[in-house]
Amino acid sequence: MEAEKEVFKFKDVIPYTIVRLPVIYGPRDTATFDFFKAVNIGIIPLVGFKKKYVNILHVRDTVEGIILAGENMQALNKIYQIAASSLTPGMS
């Protein structure tokens, strides 16, 4: 949020495209892999007491989204939330 505030200070001088990222996983990400393994065998970690939704995106898809936003002139001066096509139910 602080970085975006800095960008907006110069929004009339420098074109921008802001990309907000989800939780990212990929190769050699053992912590996320352990989480998926636990869920796969029926262990669902409890974080808080309310239902949550978590958007998780593979690093390749994340990079593709950043490149698309960076190369598309229609993306100038806009904010994008890169996300999977649907929300992944989180811990409840």
pTM of the model: 0.70
Range from 8-12, 70-74, 82-86 carrying the lowest mean pLDDT:
82-86
Q: Which residues are bridge partners to 17 per DSSP?
A: 78
Over residues 44-81, the pLDDT tens digits come to: 777 777 877 778 889 999 999 999 999 999 999 999 99
Over residues 29-47, the pLDDT tens digits come to: 888 888 878 888 988 777 7
User: For residues 42 and 63, what is the distance between their CA atoms, to the nearest angstrom?
Assistant: 31
Higher pLDDT, 67 or 84: 67
16's tokens: 């921008």
Whether 86 has a pLDDT exceeding 60, the answer reads: no
- CA-based nearest residue to 22, from 67, 65, 54: 54
Q: What is the domain extent for residue 67?
A: 2-89
Our count of domains for the chain comes to 1
